[in-house]
Every structure is written in C-alpha cells, then in structure tokens.
C-alpha cells in the first residue's frame, strides 16, 4: 500500500495593523545608542495594547477558516509560541473556545523554542499521517518584549500564522523533513524574565547557523531524494542581512530562490515567523514548485513541500487575507512612547478611574464560555428572533417563548455601528475609549468596544467586523480576560491581493 499523502490544505495570517516606524525608535534613543541609526529603515509590526499571542493566533485561524460556522471537522489544534500569556492554563484551549471548536478536539501548547511553530507543524503532519487526526489546525504566534535601545527592539515584530493539515484537497504536499536537536544557545530567556539575552553575533552566525543549517538541509534532501537544484523557494527566518542567500548557496540552492524575510515591513515575529514567511510564500508560489522551510533554534527543522494545482484557487479567494493582505492593512505609528506603554515597559499614571479590582469570576466565565469566548448568542426556533446573550426567554416582543433558542454565532457576521461614543472620561489604554451598539446583519445588537481606530474615524453606519481581544487584565492575580471588539472593515486588503 502506498504511503498516505498528507500536507497543507489551507493557510491564514495576521499582522497587527499598527506599524512602528524604526526611525521613531532610533530617533528617541539616539542620545544613548547612536549606533542603531543604521537600522532605522522600514517598520516593525506592533500589537495593540489588547493584542497578545492568543488573540493574534485566533485572527490567523479565523482567516484560514473563513466564515464557515461548522468547524466540527477540526479535530486537533497546535499552538506554538514563546510568549504565551499563561504558564499553567491551556492557551490552545482559550483559542479553541474563541474559534468555537468542538470540545473533543486535542489541543496542545508548543513552547520554549524559536522552532515552536515548525515543531507544531511537524506534530500535526505526523498526527494526520498516523491517522490520529483528520484535520489539524496549526497556529504560531509571538509578541516578544524588548529592552529599549536594543537591536531586538528594531528587529522584532508581532504576528501570527495558521496552517491546516490534512490528507484531502492538498494545496501543498508534504514530501519530508529532517530535524536536528542541538543545544546551541544563541539567546535565552529564563523563567520569569521579560527579555531575551543574546550572545555574540559572529558566534551565532559562524558556529551556529553556518554549520547547523546546511547539515539539516542536506539531511532532508537525502531523505527525500530531492536535489538542491529543484528547490524553488528557500524559506528561512534570519535577522542577519544576506545570510540566507549565503546559506542557500552553501547548500547548492540558487540564492535567488530565497524568500523575503519581511524585515522591512514587519520584522521577525519570533516562533511564528517561519510560518508567517511560509504563508507569504504560498500566496506567491505557483503549482508544482518545491518549498523548503528551514527554522533555526535549539537545532534546526527542515521541512519540504510541493505545491499543487489547488493552490491557485486558494490564492484567488478574496476573503482570505493571508500575510499579503494583512501587511497591506496598516497604519503608520510614530509615537515611540505609545509602543513602550502598550508593552508595559513604562509606568504611567492611570488615574483614579483605573483603580478597581478586576478579579474574574471563573465560575461565571465557565458557565458562559460560549457567549464570552465564542460570541455565541441565541436564535428562537419559532420566531427567528436573534439575541445576545442567549436566555431561556426569547426577546420576541409579541411571542416571548421559553426554551426555544438554539446557538447563534455572531463573530463572523457582518455588522454596522448603530450608535457610538468617544469617551475621554473613562479609563482607556488608548484614549478616547470608543464603544457603541453594533447592529448585525440578520438581527441582533451588542454593545461593545471599538478597536484599531483614531478620533474622527468612527461614525454611525460604519461597517465593522468582530475581533477577539484582551478585554482587561487582572494584574494582581496575573489573569487576562478576553472578549470581542469591533474594528472597521477596510478595503485595502482586497486591493493589495489584486496587485499581487
């Protein structure tokens, strides 16, 4: 019997809308670190104050899944990150609840290495090949803190990517992989520490990357019988300029096949970046091309794919943003202090209105998980009236029926702003605090916060979409509370995809 063919069936991506200009960073720190001026070109992605690795992973997964309400086919979720918000709570379980996946799925956190994304991907591929799963969802996401005036502050970025793994309708067939596990410490972050500690660059480049990567690439090529000259896309995250081209050449791979590291437009997104670059490559690749994905960190992963004819149809799906569309949906940010504040790198006076106990009632969260995490309301099966939250008694004005409601998902439905306010009096991490009543297509109204907007942008009738975000944080106990917010629907994504 021929071995089972497995591979990628869909992709999704998410890069935060805010893009901090690197010249803002170097300009603010020129008095103490003038040597950084040479790195001032371009921009890095900057997560909003209410974004973290879970919310970004959810957005990448939603981009992959689309508006399909039936997600019962997903039977495994792997989440790779080095900055997961909870050390002892299943972070992938939070993402699964937000995505309204079935409770009988397997959910796994993969952490502690820059290879977390590719490790999660390989686990999913192996699981499907072994028939332990049929349709696995792989997400990788990172939002790393950096010291002010450090090279990492300029090189890093925030982002996420998602890939679906299965055995049917493949857009990229998995050919093979090779992994080397080597405790080569190029950087580390100890337990309880906020920042990475990096070693000397020449050591990392010459003793680490230059020796470990070629050996791993040779390993996968030998296993699969594929020659180096057959590689069409060499995808490898790397912050050293021109090093991927040199490594490709050392492996016998044409330097012109090296994929864009996206440094100029978003920076390196940590454990997510290998998958971010892979999704970006899939959005540009042609059928029948071989993609070699290489990821360095505590050793190396080398994963080989071959694209199929089905990739073209997915590239033409206007509803799928991917990395290309997500990069196009951008807002320049030049306020360096906002970046420091959003990432908790400066203490600031929040005022008396911020002084409140934000302890979360975990019993209430559990009992109302579908509404809070999944934005699931109710629809009366007799009258068709839709409401949020769901209750035993329908809000139908002329027929208040009892126990007639079925679950009704709001998260992927179109909505417009009915009424709104921009409040400077209540506490907000990014004043003014925009909120209002969202009116959903098909019925239902919900009052919620409005995110990713600037003063003057919000108005009644504005079309919005729902996003999963941090609602607030209980700093006293280290607990994050999540809910859904509204953001404007912007057409720049479709324009960018058409241009590609």
Q: Are residues 424 and 327 in the same domain?
A: no
Collapsed DSSP state (helix, strand, coil) of residue 199: coil
Beta partners for residue 300, in sequence order: 180, 296
CB atoms within 10 A of CB 35: 12
Collapsed DSSP state (helix, strand, coil) of residue 232: strand
Q: Looking at residue 2, what is its pLDDT?
A: 43
In angstroms, the CA 181 to CA 216 distance is: 10
In angstroms, the CA 70 to CA 246 distance is: 46
Of 220, 219, 263, which is closest to residue 241 (Cα–Cα)? 263
Residue 348 lies in a domain: no
Q: Are residues 148 and 101 in the same domain?
A: yes
Residue 77 lies in a domain: yes
Residue 381 lies in a domain: no
In angstroms, the CA 239 to CA 222 distance is: 28
Q: Looking at residue 357, what is its pLDDT?
A: 82
Q: Are residues 178 and 292 in the same domain?
A: yes
CATH number, residue 248 = 3.40.47.10
Q: Are residues 367 and 321 in the same domain?
A: no
166 within 8 A of 134, measured Cβ to Cβ: yes
Q: Are residues 420 and 272 in the same domain?
A: no
Q: Looking at residue 1, what is its pLDDT?
A: 36
Question: How many folded domains does the chain comprise?
Answer: 2
Q: Give how far the C-alpha of residue 448 lies from the chain's centroid of Cα atoms, to the nearest Å.
A: 23
Residue 401 lies in a domain: no
Q: Are residues 240 and 301 in the same domain?
A: yes
Residue 351 lies in a domain: no
In angstroms, the CA 145 to CA 312 distance is: 37
In angstroms, the CA 231 to CA 498 distance is: 27
Crossing angle (nearest 10°) for helices 91-98 and 53-65: 40
Tell me: cis bond preceding 103? Omega within 30 of 0 counts.
no
Q: Are residues 259 and 369 in the same domain?
A: no
Q: Looking at residue 493, what is its pLDDT?
A: 56
Residue 355 lies in a domain: no
Q: Are residues 430 and 287 in the same domain?
A: no
Q: Are residues 432 and 476 in the same domain?
A: yes
Collapsed DSSP state (helix, strand, coil) of residue 473: strand
| pTM over cut 0.85 | yes
In angstroms, the CA 257 to CA 236 distance is: 11
Of 137, 143, 135, which is closest to residue 81 (Cα–Cα)? 143
Per-residue pLDDT of the chain in tens (500 residues, 90 and over written 9): 345 799 999 999 999 999 999 999 999 999 999 999 999 999 999 999 999 999 999 999 999 999 778 899 999 999 999 999 999 999 999 999 999 999 999 999 999 999 999 999 999 999 999 999 999 999 999 999 999 999 999 999 999 999 999 999 999 999 999 999 999 999 999 998 999 999 999 999 999 999 999 999 999 999 999 999 999 999 999 999 999 999 999 999 999 999 999 999 999 999 999 999 999 999 999 999 999 999 999 999 999 999 999 999 999 988 899 999 999 999 999 999 999 999 999 988 888 777 888 889 899 999 999 999 999 999 999 999 999 999 999 998 888 899 999 999 999 999 999 999 999 998 899 999 999 999 999 999 999 999 999 999 999 999 999 999 999 999 899 999 999 999 999 976 555 555 55
For residue 370, give its domain range: 362-375+410-499
Q: Looking at residue 496, what is its pLDDT?
A: 55
Q: Are residues 330 and 433 in the same domain?
A: no
Q: Looking at residue 152, what is its pLDDT?
A: 96
Residue 266 lies in a domain: yes
Q: Are residues 367 and 326 in the same domain?
A: no
Residue 52 lies in a domain: yes
CATH number, residue 425 = 2.40.50
Q: Are residues 334 and 421 in the same domain?
A: no
């Amino acid at each position: 019997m021929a071995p089972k063919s497995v591979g990628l069936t869909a992709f999704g991506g998410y890069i935060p809308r805010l893009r901090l200009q690197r010249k803002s960073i170097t300009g603010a720190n020129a008095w103490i670190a003038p040597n950084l001026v040479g790195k001032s070109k371009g921009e890095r992605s900057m997560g909003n104050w209410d974004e973290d690795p879970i919310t970004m992973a959810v957005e990448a997964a939603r981009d992959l899944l689309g508006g399909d309400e039936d997600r019962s086919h997903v039977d495994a979720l792997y989440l790779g990150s080095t900055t997961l918000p909870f050390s002892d709570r299943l972070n992938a379980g939070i993402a699964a609840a937000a995505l309204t996946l079935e409770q009988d799925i397997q959910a796994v956190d993969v952490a502690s290495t820059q290879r977390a994304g590719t490790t999660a991907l390989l686990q999913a591929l192996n699981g499907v090949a072994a028939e332990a799963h049929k349709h696995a969802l792989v997400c990788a996401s990172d939002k790393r803190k950096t010291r002010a005036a450090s090279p990492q502050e300029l090189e890093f970025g925030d982002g996420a990517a998602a890939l679906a793994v299965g055995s049917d309708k493949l857009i990229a067939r998995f050919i093979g992989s090779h992994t080397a596990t080597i405790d080569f410490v190029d950087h580390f972050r100890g337990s309880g520490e906020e920042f990475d500690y990096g070693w000397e660059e020449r050591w990392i480049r010459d003793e680490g990357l230059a020796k470990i990567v070629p050996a791993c690439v040779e390993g996968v090529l030998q296993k699969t019988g594929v020659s180096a000259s057959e590689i069409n896309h060499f995808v490898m995250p790397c912050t050293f300029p021109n090093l991927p081209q040199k490594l490709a050449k050392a492996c016998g791979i044409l330097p012109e096949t090296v994929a864009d590291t996206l440094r100029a437009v978003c920076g390196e997104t940590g454990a997510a970046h290998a998958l971010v670059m892979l999704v970006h490559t899939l959005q540009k690749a042609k059928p029948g091309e071989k993609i070699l994905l290489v990821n360095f960190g505590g050793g190396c992963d080398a994963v080989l794919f071959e694209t199929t004819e089905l990739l073209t149809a997915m590239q033409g799906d206007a509803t799928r943003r991917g990395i290309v569309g997500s990069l196009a949906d951008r807002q320049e940010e030049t306020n360096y202090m906002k970046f420091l504040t959003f990432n908790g790198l400066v203490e600031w006076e929040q005022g008396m209105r911020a002084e409140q106990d934000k302890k979360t009632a975990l019993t209430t969260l559990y009992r109302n998980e579908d509404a809070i995490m999944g934005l699931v309301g109710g629809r009366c099966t007799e009258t068709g009236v839709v409401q949020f939250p769901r209750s035993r008694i329908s809000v139908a004005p002329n027929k208040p029926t009892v126990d007639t409601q079925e679950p009704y998902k709001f998260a992927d439905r179109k909505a417009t702003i009915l009424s709104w306010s921009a409040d400077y009096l209540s506490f907000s991490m990014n004043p003014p605090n925009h909120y209002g009543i969202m009116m959903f297509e098909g019925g239902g109204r919900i009052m919620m916060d409005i995110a990713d907007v600037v003063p003057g942008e919000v108005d009644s009738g504005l079309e919005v979409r729902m996003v999963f975000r941090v609602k607030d944080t209980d700093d006293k106990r280290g607990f994050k509370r999540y809910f859904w917010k509204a953001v404007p629907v912007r057409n720049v994504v479709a324009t960018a995809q058409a241009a590609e």
